[in-house]
Every structure is written in structure tokens, then in C-alpha cells.
Amino acid sequence: IMKIFLAKYEHKHGLDERAFKSRKGAEWQLEQWAEMYADEWAPFTPDNMPAASLVEQWTDITCGAEFLYVEELPLLDHKNFCEEHKK
């Protein structure tokens, strides 16, 4: 089964999502978001923190207000999915 990897960023304004063919791509997106918004949380963000560490600690950095994560989903083919789930 093929999979897609959704990079997700939950914040006070809603949810941002991007779909990728690989987990690595989705993790890259999380790092981009963390770097982009780290300044907004400057008092809680150590200087020069690596992007991967920002992602790992994002919920703590944002005092539980925001979440960065990857959701893995099967990539379904409509025709095959419908045939498999007919009653």
C-alpha cells in the first residue's frame, strides 16, 4: 500500500497541512514552519536552536498552544477502494 505523509501545524488560526510522498518531506515542512514562526515565541526559544529540535519541542515552546506533527495515511485508489467496500 502506498502512503502519504501529511505535515500538520495546528495553531490558534486553524490548521495548515501539506501532503508529501515521504516522511522526510513532511518533516522538512515541519522544520520550515518552526523556523518561520520561532520569532513569535522568542522568549521561549533558545537562540540558534536547530530546526529539528524546534519541531520536537514546539508544543512546550508554545506553552501547549500549537502542535507540529506528521500524520501517515494510506493512499487509496477510488476504484479499488469502492470495490473492496461494496456491501
Q: Residue 16 is which amino acid?
A: D
H helix runs in the chain, sequence order: 23-37, 51-61, 78-84
- For the chain, the C-alpha Rg in angstroms (whole number) is 16
Question: What is the structure's pLDDT at 79?
Answer: 73
Per-residue pLDDT of 30-55, as tens digits, reads 999 999 999 998 887 887 899 999 99
Calpha distance 35→31 (Å, rounded): 6
The model carries a pTM of: 0.86
Q: What is the mean pLDDT of residues 8-21?
A: 97
Per-residue pLDDT of 51-85, as tens digits, reads 999 999 999 999 999 999 999 999 988 776 667 76
Q: Residue 71 is which amino acid?
A: E
Q: For residue 4, what is its C-alpha cell?
A: 502519504
